[in-house]
Chains A and B, each alone.
Chain A
């Protein structure tokens, strides 16, 4: 199947710091998505990107669809304790019936 490389695997940061994580794929995608998963819950969609070069924000979160269409990044500014969780990138291409997920970035915010 599709290989999505997500980094870093985990991050420990101080409250108030900015966070950046990224994802690369072996194939060209036409959709990139970023999800957050908290313990005992399913993933929740944070940001969806549909166009190469697109930069989209959702509050303190900003994500970009790379111009090569093989990568995406997510930034979180001024982190707060409730940002703790696992962040997954996901993507898909035309004709696919499913999303392909990265292995996740586990974020810990130290108050």
Chain B
């Protein structure tokens, strides 16, 4: 079956512009996660959605970052007024229902802020 998909695969933007990154989780997965991976680093947690519960936003680095999940499926990560330090690969993952379930990762969106 289809895995987690993300779009775009690459995004180049100018400093100060807003960007939207999209994640389509595996059908039927209620848990969805966003991570950020900077060059040569591990994955940094950003935000977690579980069903209809309020998301855990504790990993968002600033108020320029926000995310939505519509209809319990597709999620959009928005970065406003992008800065050069926002350049990274943004990874989305989904799992069946809980953190203890296996997380399946998408291929990521590589964001470059000039």
B33 / chain A contacts, CB cutoff of 8 Å: 98-99
Q: What is the number of residues of chain A that contact chain B, defined by CB distance less than 8 Å? A: 24
* Interface flag for B65 (CB, 8 Å): no
State whether A42 touches B56 (Cβ < 8 A).
no
Majority SS of interface residues in chain A? loop
Q: What is the number of residues of chain B that contact chain A, defined by CB distance less than 8 Å? A: 25
Within 8 A of A (CB), among B16-37: 33, 35
**When chains A and B are docked, how far (Å) is the Cα of A4 from the Cα of B104?**
21
State whether A41 touches B107 (Cβ < 8 A).
yes
Distance (Å) between the CB of B55 and the closest chain A CB? 9
A45 / chain B contacts, CB cutoff of 8 Å: 102-104
Cross-interface CB contact of B100 among A31, A90, A100, cutoff 8 Å: A31
Cross-interface CB contact of B42 among A92, A97, A104, cutoff 8 Å: A104
Within 8 A of A (CB), among B83-114: 91, 93, 99-100, 102-108
The interface of chain B, by Cβ under 8 A from chain A, is 4, 33, 35, 40-45, 48, 50, 56, 58-59, 91, 93, 99-100, 102-108
